[in-house]
């Protein structure tokens, strides 16, 4: 296993053991990464394919995002040389087809994109196999699970990701009691995304807390700053001043 796999597992494991909440924020640009670094208290920055796709590139969803586009944005975030762990999403069809291809693509995100970990989504047997292959190639892997219809099924998938070598798993949109049970069952950290307060940490959609994106349907963080409104007002005032 690689150095960054060991570091990620140690960092998240230590915080889980001490019950110190883990903070993971979505980031997709150099400027935002610098702000995160200056703010402190940020444990990890996730270059999320949804943020890259819908906010940076104007796609209707994360589906069209390519590996090359993820490499571009991950490099930008990594250039901020933040102390937080930089995690890059593996976009659709870069890890589902074969474990060997998944490991190769994850290696590119690490070598060319300067990511220190990658995230894969889902708990199917093919995703589990790919996660295991990526870890064996020396790349740290964070898993991501959505509610799988029952606690037992979700718990089974979470255990499989842990056994594959993942250092953490995001639990998205799960009933709070089920997320708490899974958190207690796993030795690796769980990161909640609208799954209640019992997870070991929380995935924060930065665009939501800054008022730059519509709130998700799932319960999410409150808006701390209506930045979209403030930016619109500032641009309008500047444009009006220029026309005087």
Q: Which are the catalytic amino acids? A: 172
The 10 Å Cβ neighbour count of residue 104 is 15
For residue 196, report the phi and psi dihedrals to the nearest 5 degrees.
Answer: 90, 175
């Amino acid at each position: 296993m690689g150095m960054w796999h060991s570091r990620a597992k140690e960092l998240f494991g230590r915080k889980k053991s001490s019950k110190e909440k883990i903070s993971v924020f979505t980031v997709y640009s150099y400027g935002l990464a610098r702000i995160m670094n200056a703010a402190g208290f940020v444990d990890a920055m996730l270059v999320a394919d949804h943020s890259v796709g819908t906010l940076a590139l104007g796609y209707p969803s994360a589906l069209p995002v390519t590996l090359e586009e993820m490499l571009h944005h991950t490099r930008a975030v990594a250039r901020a040389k933040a102390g937080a762990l930089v995690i890059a999403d593996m976009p659709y069809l870069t890890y589902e087809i074969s474990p060997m291809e998944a490991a190769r693509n994850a290696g590119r995100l690490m070598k060319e994109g300067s990511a220190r970990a990658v995230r894969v989504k889902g708990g199917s047997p093919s995703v589990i196999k790919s996660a295991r292959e990526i870890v064996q190639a020396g790349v740290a892997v964070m898993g991501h699970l959505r509610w799988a219809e029952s606690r037992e099924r979700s718990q089974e998938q979470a255990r499989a990701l842990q056994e594959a070598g993942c250092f953490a798993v995001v639990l998205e949109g799960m009933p709070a009691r089920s997320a708490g049970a899974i958190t207690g069952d796993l030795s690796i950290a769980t990161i909640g995304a609208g799954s209640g307060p019992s997870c070991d940490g929380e995935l924060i959609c930065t665009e939501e807390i800054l008022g730059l994106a519509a709130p998700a349907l799932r319960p999410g963080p409150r808006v701390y700053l209506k930045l979209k409104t403030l930016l619109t007002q500032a641009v309008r005032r500047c444009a009006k001043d220029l026309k005087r």
